[in-house]
Structure 1
């Protein structure tokens, strides 16, 4: 038997590492980015304190900033979003679609893969909007249609499907493909936004300028992620809290909301600690599966014929008016619908885009560009449209039949109460109400779990392929992600305030996404095809 133990003589003949090489090895070790984490936490705590002790001034300043931003850049944002759709469809149909993102077979099954990125890309507030978004549009819709008219009712779901359809999933695709190509094909070091931007701009990784820009981008990313979660988490907790209060005759207090948020935080913290394969994958399966079951139940227990007819008609309107909806600005009429809703929604999706891009990159190794683009657009649209079609169709039918008038309740009470009444009026309403509100909490936990992973990945240095951030860091961010929503619940922030928070944190990513489009063109133009595997 050969002795493989190194002898002193062998040690002397082995190549010796220089101090520089030793330092390089140490610098390449996976470690937490303590400076980034510290600065992020300082800003988050400062915002929380301002919201608690001076809420009126913060909300007023935010509202003014929202108006200035959407009035100045609204049309440009709409144009860019439309260009993203054209770009993604072209890439998927071209030879570039055959490019494989990393070697080997896909790590996850098609179903698990679809469920995980749907949970990453959709917040649990989706379940509120599925019942209620059409009602906002019915009370004041775009395309110069009179509010509360039959035409407004007929067009309401088509606008919902537009805002949750092709364009947002194409925006996700743009950033995801750029990040995935950079990480899997270019073999980048670090799964974060700053590494991608440094590569796109052709900067030296170790230069002072790249370090400053990288830190700034990672910091902006963290703030935008918090901004997006403010709306999703706050709307979800408010809806669930109102629903349980209505269901069990309890008082809807801040204490109840705090307990619900704590339960949700505990759920996704445990899932995050377990990891993607055993935690997030299973909770994503449960959330998506239960959403599908709930939509089927509503479809069957409601007026199925009306719901299907209304959906098919709305699908036709969405596809027919897609270009006009994408570029509608109402400049001659002075309307604000496009700024209040379309521009807001594109910015809302922007806040999630970097996190979704990082997460999609992590779970898409071994897939082609075409699979990722079509998976995002086709899979995302199919899931959203089926869910929204069933719940919105039922809600519209309830108004037409005089059972629950959701648009009127928006004006006289709140959307949360309308949701509770809509579910309660279904057969087995009590059971379905509990099922719905538990599902909403589970969906939020799944979404926050994916977000906590991406935030932890960004705040980890030198993360390589196949590596995940430490469990302790993931758990830490799970707790931190609940702080700003808790502050918004404390001040009982209005929907306008929540929309403002999203818009302001998303604004810097307009430039980032433009660079993603430029970088993707650069990457693909320089790609050397392997005809044996990319046909």
Structure 2
């Protein structure tokens, strides 16, 4: 995001223009995809399932290996003498607590709230490490796999891209805070050359497509969960019309926020969403069986840490298992879709920090935030299942996870109030996330955007609407989870190449670093 504190005279800033070519190509992609989904809903889902399994089968092991290597690389850099390298001059802009809080909140989005209640149930039905489903062992290890998928590896992937981008921007004094500038520097390309321009345009397009892919899953799951909850609460039918109305409400909210601007819009709605999330996590912890939730949390954390290497590299090749491809590979790709934006965000707020602070701030802060929220909500859901009160895995299999969530929340004291609070919280978080994404996409599709400038307001509003269309199509065809996973997988895969380049780029930057400066 741009630093609005920098005030420049209008005649000192070159006029920024909309990148019409980039916008046009993106629109063609969006509308062709929507048309195919609407015209051939059943065939689209069959093809999506085939593409997902085909891609994960071919590159799944490499994705898992890359995730493990990313952990090793950032931990080595963070603990070595390179960790003392300061990213930029001066003192940090934010206090330690505020800085860490932003990292923690970065791990909590609207779809996260669905997974926090339900992900363990998927693993109880079918888990990894050759553990049989529907057993006490699969129940005991279910949350440990949740902690693994929302823990060290994904935050290490973020850290890898972030410290590479931050070094490039703050230490190498790069002119642009974007992927094309970083890649050109790593490959020793002249940023004004034709090759550099082609690479830059390709990266911008890939960034836009990956953004759409990640949002499809987040938005569709969120709206589906909220619509099911509202239908159950108010005794109405859960129709496509209800989902469309809810999506329209969210779109209107983040469109108004985008129109107002970052300081008065995005910042305030984001703070509200984060505060509400932590309050909800604490309420569930204290209204549920607190002792059971804490005991299950500690046990699951121990299993996740002790089995970390095996979970990271488990491929189940001799048993023809698909758990690692369906979940671990999918999740690493899901996180990768957001990595470019996160790395830019981390770079902007980490001036004056050291590489060590960024690495361990991201990993420790991110893990604490995610593990707290998942531990609280998942622990409560497991307790309801273990005590026989609510059979969450059976509801997930026979009907849907959305209905299971509605029953779990309504079973709490003040269930109706908490249900309304939870579903509104999901919508607020979704609006906040979409607002930030619309701003980022608008910035990418603007030429010559300078520090102190924002993309045109009309362009931001345009992308607010566009970002809602693909999720609307997915809701119309009632897309399965495998279809949504495909959207993430296909759009994230190209960024693996960029992240591999980040490893080589980081080595290049650090090898040439002058510690005498």
Q: How far apart, in 1, do the equivalents of 2:96 and 2:259 lie?
A: 24
The residue aligned with 2:139 is 153
The residue aligned with 1:76 is 62
Indicate whether 1:265 and 2:219 are aligned. no
Q: CA deviation at 1:286?
A: 1.6
Q: How far apart, in 2, do the equivalents of 1:483 and 1:467 lie?
A: 28
The residue aligned with 1:16 is none
Contiguous gaps of at least 5 residues in structure 1: 1-24
For residue 47 of structure 1, the aligned residue among 33, 39, 60 is 33
- Please list the CA deviations of residues 83-115 of structure 1 after superposition, one character each: whole Å capped at 9, or x if unmatched: 111111112222222333333343444444444
Pick closer, same or farther for the CA change 1:385–1:201 going to 2, 3 Å. same
For residue 88 of structure 1, the aligned residue among 74, 93, 118 is 74
Query: Contact conserved, 2:106 with 2:366, CA < 8 A, in 1?
Result: no
The residue aligned with 1:437 is 423
The residue aligned with 2:3 is none
The residue aligned with 2:457 is 471
Q: How far apart, in 1, do the equivalents of 2:108 and 2:197 lie?
A: 32
The residue aligned with 2:260 is 274
- Please list the CA deviations of residues 303-330 of structure 1 after superposition, one character each: whole Å capped at 9, or x if unmatched: 1111000000000001100000000111
Q: CA deviation at 1:42?
A: 1.6
- Greater C-alpha radius of gyration: 1
Q: How far apart, in 2, do the equivalents of 1:251 and 1:350 lie?
A: 36
Indicate whether 1:341 and 2:327 are aligned. yes
Q: How far apart, in 1, do the equivalents of 2:263 and 2:250 lie?
A: 20
Moved more, 355-364 or 217-226: 355-364
1:30-429 superposed matches below 5 A? 30-429=16-415
Number of positions where the alignment pairs a residue of Structure 1 with one of Structure 2: 507
SS in 2 for 1:277: helix
Pick closer, same or farther for the CA change 1:284–1:530 going to 2, 3 Å. farther
Q: CA deviation at 1:447?
A: 1.7
Q: CA deviation at 1:293?
A: 0.8
- Please list the CA deviations of residues 235-273 of structure 1 after superposition, one character each: whole Å capped at 9, or x if unmatched: 000000100000010111111111111221222223333
Pick closer, same or farther for the CA change 1:471–1:100 going to 2, 3 Å. farther
The residue aligned with 1:12 is none
Query: Contact conserved, 1:145 with 1:151, CA < 8 A, in 2?
Result: yes
Q: How far apart, in 2, do the equivalents of 1:372 and 1:75 lie?
A: 28
Pick closer, same or farther for the CA change 1:456–1:95 going to 2, 3 Å. farther
The residue aligned with 1:495 is 481
Indicate whether 1:448 and 2:428 are aligned. no
Pick closer, same or farther for the CA change 1:278–1:360 going to 2, 3 Å. farther
Q: CA deviation at 1:395?
A: 0.2
Q: CA RMSD in A?
A: 1.9
Contiguous gaps of at least 5 residues in structure 2: 1-10
Q: How far apart, in 2, do the equivalents of 1:32 and 1:112 lie?
A: 34
User: When the two structures are superposed, what TM-score results if normalisation uses the length of structure 2?
Assistant: 0.94
User: When the two structures are superposed, what TM-score results if normalisation uses the length of structure 1?
Assistant: 0.91
- Please list the CA deviations of residues 444-499 of structure 1 after superposition, one character each: whole Å capped at 9, or x if unmatched: 12222222232222222333445443433333222221111111011110111101
The residue aligned with 2:447 is 461
Q: How far apart, in 2, do the equivalents of 1:418 and 1:322 lie?
A: 29
